[in-house]
Structure 1
Amino acid sequence: MTTRIATRFAALREEGRPALVTFITAGDPDGETSLEILRALPEAGADIIELGVPFTDPMADGPAIQAGGLRALKAGQTLAKTLAMVKAFRVADNETPIVLMGYFNPIYIYGVERFLVDARAAGVDGLIVVDLPPEEDDELCLPALEAGLDFIRLATPTTDDKRLRVVLKNTAGFVYYVSITGITGSATPNADVVGAAVARIKGHTPLPVAVGFGVKTPEQARAIAAGADGVVVGSALVETVRCSLDEAGHATAETVPAVCKVVRGLAEAVRSVRR
């Protein structure tokens, strides 16, 4: 079965350009505004959307995304509401791939079997669960693949060739290369080093490789896109949300337009890279 993710990357290969993958936190700063942002992302230039599932102990996330998660949780966001967001998005957009990104605990509490059924019904295309290593594929990865959801793995600068083979074994959709060692948004990636790492990964898999963590500006996105199949931007968008809020932390008339403006700039930069 061909997923929306595979279809989108195939279309981009035909166009001869990389993908812009955008990350936002579901429910940040509130459910209604978050859904507005989600709906606006494709027109602004997002090719694939990662929707963060807020969690109280986000160990891989930097300060910006941690803060976004806390805002979402404070506003009452849950995994069930996140799935409802995807379902609402699908009313008008049945093509843009959506990947849920987060941690296993909320899924475990929700119930794995129930979650997979509901995620598929809502229109989710893939999962990134950062705290489930390949050794625990039976917990979620294999059932997700069986249910028709891509399970996307992270590879890092410290993933050697031996470990990479293990990581890639059940990976589907694309490989997410973490361009820096550390948490999200904590440093700036070196485009040359990243390009070499992507080439090494592609020597082990036919899957597209998207690069994230630390990409914030159009210039950085363009440089990374030159050596990757996709560029992931998250912290910069979540920080844009924060900067648009009023003193009480509530959304303003500028919140959605501000995020869209940043995405348009990133999309223009990524789309300027031709294969």
Structure 2
Amino acid sequence: MTIASTDADRPAPDNPVPGDPVLDDPVLDNPAWSALVGAHAHLAEGGDLARRYPADVSPFAAVRSWADPGVWDAVIDLVGHGAEFPGPTESVALPPGWERGEPFEGVQLIETERLHGRPDDEAVVLGAADVPEMLDLVARAQPGPFLPRTYELGRYVGIRRDGHLAAMAGERLQPAGWTEISAVATDERYRGQGLATRLVLDVVHHVHRRGARAMLHASAGNTGAIRLYESLGFTLRRRVAFGSVRTPVSG
């Protein structure tokens, strides 16, 4: 999956509270960029106009603004010719030689006052030694991109059953004032026990302890997960077009 920066994405038509200062936080319009110049600047590759995470950390990349005339050269400098980069929405015209990939629809959800995190006594912090199990669980549950060093982005936790990693969840993007919940996955043998919910609320608890708010992204077609998150206290902020562009094959 290629993750697009969202500075040009359209607001969801059913935005529940127009004018709400939390919903309107501009950081959420380009969360990857905010993270790459902020909490994750130590991991970032690139410069003032375009940045990305290392290939074994995350597929996320972003630009400061697609309106800057120098951004196209900055992307080529970062990824080279004939390479993919998370792209702008169709409202942004591409220069000659650039190609647009096929987008797919996602949603951005943010917390409301109904979301109350709580620590879970069974949750264990996952790290480098747990990466093989984490990659295996993600490959089977397919919650979204997870790479060998993704755990470096934040706090990842899991619950074990019968010596196996039964469920996991963690923190991915950290735009200013926010933390994205990600990699929520449960082994099919242990589904229906509420493990994912428990881990999400544990992650939320620690996000709140840092003074940040929780947010997340999901595929628009994953209606079951969206309903779960809404039941916990998240609300739809906007619909997001995830897509990509391919840089020209030569200069």
Give TM-score scaled by structure 2 length.
0.32
TM-score when normalising by structure 1: 0.30
Higher-Rg structure is: 2
Q: Which has the higher strand share?
A: 2
